[in-house]
Amino acid sequence: MNGQLSEIPLAELLREIADEKLSGALRLARARVKAAVYAQEGALVFASVNLRAHRLTECLRRWHAIDEDLLAAIVTDAMPDREVGASLLATGACTQPELEHWQSRQAKESLHPLLLWTDGEWHFEPRARWAEDSQLTIRLAPLLMESARRLPAHFVASRLRDEEMIAPVAAGDPDGLELLPAEAFMLSRIVSPLRVHDLILIGGLPKEQARQFIYALSLGGLLRRTNGKGRLASATPGAAAIIATNDQPATEQPARAQIEVARTAIEGTVAPAADATANIPFEIDALLTRVCASTHYELLGVETDAAPAEIKGAYYALAKRFHPDRFRRAVEDATRARIEQAFGKIAQAYEILKSDKDRAAYDLRLSAQASAPAPNAKGPARDTSNAAFNALSPQEQAGELFQQGLAASKIGNHISAIKFFDEAARLAPAEARYHAYYGRALAHGERTRHRAETELRTAIHLDERNAAYHVMLAELYQTLKQFHRAASELERALALDPQSTAARVMLERMKERK
């Protein structure tokens, strides 16, 4: 059985394998990249890619899982993964549970970029099996949901039509899934089979966002798409009985009561669901904390270079979550007044950032603040006696300093940017992006480039799946004329995110210069 990923993406194929409890190997091909995903009775048991960055030896080096000298003494780069594992066990460098943990992590990291492929070929072999005896633990649902959130909106729209029927999963097991608030709300709205169009109506979110949430919930196994039979199951021996059991006829029209819920949800008169109201105090605290942000960008939760569409999407998501109407029946008048005032700040931030003219003026003001001379050589340019700043938590102070560092970098003031990013990284050492941008700023100075690599490596260690950090490190290596190391980092970036334009363009330019 074979097909194109543009017609059926990997995430949907894996969801079908899990639902129908199929066994076999799903082989993928895209240009020179080949991959294989193995399943046993619906459970994901391994995934491999023919890229060096995803070999077990490279993974162990990247994770600093084993002392590098010890690893070099035991294995070679030419060893296949199976021999690497056997050698590690034979020499006592690791235990069987440790090896299985590393193999599970390797498989998950291999899957992340594959799940974002929107083109390429797939081929399913139901009789193929993974040769190892190890019992790996790979939770599929979180991987599929994460990929659904990251896939392009236009691709998701092509996969989920308005007339398609969606049904709740009886006694669905969330498997410890961490749902976004909007996903949890959307899930609470469906109690019987509905068309996608009607479910979007009930949710009350912008169509593009709602469709993405529905798609994520279906891939996570929390909603079931009832239209049509699976491609893999229909071609697998013995699967007919499973299909007959799972594909019960769905009601073509939603219940009258649910349509009424849809109408009232749009008008804002329906009471929130029980599981949504349970978190009202938490949501109020989150709102009041958010409005302490130092910039409009922080308030909306976007970067300073965010596109207008991203700013608009962020505002609509916040409006859905924090609009005062949502809390009007659950709080007292005094609290409601605070909520209205806080949400007014969010609306004001959006009004400024959605206008090109107002946003430019606001950015100029931020830049002026960031380029102000430092009071002394030890700290960044800010008034440390400012009561409002000192009242913030270390995390919030770090966020403010990071934003000022971005503003300084934007106008080329790298000296100030270094000071801001340095202090942000000190206040929040576990925040990967602070180290990444600190390293990038250090790379501009000839005397500070040796420190830049350390900071960028720290960022990669903290957030191993962020392709952008590998691109930043590649830029540093290119500046240092270490082109082989730069190319290796770009290949790692593309392995993590095949759609990374920056990595692809930079790698192509390097190849042209050879």
pLDDT in tens, 96-110: 999 999 999 999 999
pLDDT for 485-509, tens place per residue? 999 999 999 999 888 888 888 988 8
pLDDT at 244 > cutoff 60: no
* CA angle (38 as vertex; 35, 43 as ends), nearest 5: 140
What does the block give as tokens for 55?
A: 């070999």
* Same domain as 290, residue 256: no
Q: Which strands make up the sheet holding 194-195, listed edge to edge?
A: 194-195, 165-168, 223-225
Q: What is each CA distance from 306 to 34, 131, 180, 354, in whole angstroms?
A: 34, 47, 21, 11
Q: Is the pLDDT of residue 253 over 50?
A: no
pLDDT at 363: 83
Share of the chain above pLDDT 70, in %: 80
Q: How many CA atoms lie within 13 Å of 472's alpha carbon, on the beta-carbon side?
A: 27
Whether 62 is covered by a domain: the verdict is yes
Q: Which of 138, 165, 186 is the last residue of a domain?
A: 138
Asked if 110 and 147 sit in the same domain, the reply is no
pLDDT at 263 (0 to 100)? 37
In a domain, 340, yes or no: yes
With cut-offs at 50, 70 and 90, classify the pLDDT of residue 427: confident
Which helix or strand (DSSP H or E) is residue 408 part of? Answer: helix 394-410
Residue 61 has pLDDT above 60, yes or no: yes
- Spatial contact of 467 and 116, defined as CB atoms under 8 Å apart: no
Instruction: Supply the DSSP string of 184-209, one letter for each residue.
Output: HHHHHT-SS-EEHHHHHHHH-S-HHH
Q: Say whether both 210 and 242 belong to one domain.
A: yes
Which residues contact residue 472 at a Cβ distance below 8 angstroms, ignoring those fewer than 6 apart? 436, 439, 440, 443, 456, 459
Cα–Cα nearest to 107, from 26, 30, 49, 32: 49
Q: What is the pLDDT of residues 440-467, one digit of tens each?
A: 999 988 778 878 888 898 899 888 889 9
15-24, 280-289, 377-386 — most confident range: 15-24
Classified as helix, coil or strand, 87 is helix
Does residue 122 sit in the same domain as residue 146?
Answer: no
CATH code of the domain in which 336 resides: 1.10.287.110
Question: What does the chain come to in residues?
Answer: 514
What is the predicted pLDDT for the residue at 323? 80
**261: Cα within 13 Å, side-chain hemisphere:** 20
User: Which structural domain range is residue 504 located in?
Assistant: 387-513
pLDDT for 183-193, tens place per residue?
887 887 787 78
Is residue 122 included in any domain, yes or no? yes
CATH number, domain with residue 425:
1.25.40.10
- Looking at per-residue pLDDT, the higher value among 413 and 28 belongs to 28
Q: Give the pLDDT of residue 371.
A: 58
- Angle between helix 196-203 and helix 256-267 axes, rounded to 10 deg: 40
Average pLDDT over residues 224-234: 66
Domain identity same for 186 and 126: no
What average pLDDT does the segment 147-157 reach? 88
**Is position 76 within any domain?**
yes
Count up the domains in the chain and report the number: 4
One DSSP character per residue, 417-475 reads: HHHHHHHHHHH-TT-HHHHHHHHHHHTTSTTTHHHHHHHHHHHHHH-TT-HHHHHHHHH
In a shared domain, residues 433 and 483: yes
State the SS3 of 410-430. Answer: HCCCHHHHHHHHHHHHHHCCC
Sole residue written with tokens 């294989």: 36
Same domain for 413 and 482: yes
If one compares 408 and 228, the residue with the highest pLDDT of the two is: 408
| Shared-domain flag, residues 112 and 92 | yes
* Whether residue 372 has pLDDT greater than 70: no
The Cα 370–Cα 401 span in angstroms is: 9
Whether 322 and 392 map to the same domain: the answer is: no
Instruction: Tokens 């990923």: give the residue.
Output: 5
146 & 134 share domain: no
Residue 374 belongs to a domain: no
Q: Say if residue 122 is in the same domain as residue 157.
A: no
Higher pLDDT: 40 or 245? It is 40
Tell me if 108 is assigned to some domain: yes
Does any domain span residue 466?
yes
Tell me the residue type at 308. P
Nearby residues of 509 by Cβ (< 8 Å), 6 or more positions away: none
Q: Which of the residue ranges 15-24, 72-81, 285-294, 315-324 would you say has the lowest mean pLDDT?
A: 285-294
Specify the pLDDT at position 314. Answer: 84
Q: Which of 267, 297, 320 is the last residue of a domain?
A: 267
Mean pLDDT of 223-248: 54
Q: Per-residue confidence at 151, pLDDT binned at 50, 70, 90?
A: confident
Least confident of 47-61, 80-94, 328-342: 328-342
Over 50: is that where the pLDDT of 392 sits?
yes
Q: What is the mean pLDDT of the chain?
A: 80
The candidate with the shortest Cα–Cα distance to 110, out of 60, 46, 57, is: 46
Tell me the per-residue pLDDT of 269-315, one tens digit each, with 9 for 90 and over.
333 333 344 456 656 766 776 666 668 888 888 888 888 888 988 88
Shared domain check, 132 and 28: yes
Q: Going by C-beta distance under 8 Å and a sequence separation of 6 or more, which residues neighbour residue 491?
A: 51, 52, 53, 507
Q: Does residue 421 belong to any structural domain of this protein?
A: yes
